């Protein structure tokens, strides 16, 4: 049985938990993990904000978080869902947006809502379907390179 590692930053552990839908980014980068508290006797309290209400990934987020923490000896973990303020794609950092783009997913843009083709960076794109490979993405196609791509929807 593992014992909790005293000196490890809990955020570093949580950064190992991938987004089940987009494994290139983790739940910290996604902005799902909001607050991490270390209570008495190595009990942890984690506050998460699911990407949107009814997102099928919510249960999976919790399981993945518990699994990763257990690997580091944290077996007494309480996960609280906080729905207010609601998760928004504005919580994604520029670094995270770059990662999405490299993974072939067009990241949501703040402000002007221009949709960029991850292949050729063209902004001359059109919507093919509201639903892409996951409910959190839409399917677009690029008018310049003709490649279809997934766009991470804004909420």
Q: Which residues bind Zn ion (CB under 5 A)?
A: 117, 119-120, 122, 142, 144-145
By residue count, the chain amounts to 155
Least CB distance from residue 109 to Zn ion, whole Å? Answer: 16
State the burial class of residue 90 (Cβ atoms within 10 Å of its Cβ: 0-12, 13-18, 19+): exposed
Nearer of residues 65 and 115 to Zn ion, judged by Cβ: 115
Nearer of residues 139 and 145 to Zn ion, judged by Cβ: 145
Nearer of residues 8 and 120 to Zn ion, judged by Cβ: 120
Least CB distance from residue 115 to Zn ion, whole Å? Answer: 11
Least CB distance from residue 124 to Zn ion, whole Å? Answer: 8
Quick one: three-class SS letters along 23-40? CCCEHHHHCCEEEEEECH
Are 152 and 105 a contacting pair, CB within 8 Å? Answer: yes
């Amino acid at each position: 049985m593992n014992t909790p590692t005293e000196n490890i930053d809990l955020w570093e552990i949580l950064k190992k938990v991938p987004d089940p839908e987009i494994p290139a980014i983790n739940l910290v980068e996604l902005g799902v993990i909001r607050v991490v508290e270390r209570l008495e006797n190595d009990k942890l309290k984690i506050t998460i904000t699911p990407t949107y209400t009814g997102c099928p990934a919510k249960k999976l987020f919790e399981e993945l978080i518990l699994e990763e923490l257990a690997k580091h000896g944290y077996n007494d973990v309480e996960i609280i869902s906080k729905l207010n303020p609601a998760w928004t794609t504005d919580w994604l950092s520029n670094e995270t947006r770059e990662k999405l783009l490299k993974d072939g997913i067009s990241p949501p843009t703040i402000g002007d809502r221009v949709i960029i083709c991850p292949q050729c960076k063209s902004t001359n794109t059109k919507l093919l379907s509201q639903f892409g490979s996951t409910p959190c993405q839409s399917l677009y196609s690029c008018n310049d390179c003709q490649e279809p791509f997934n766009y991470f929807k804004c909420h």
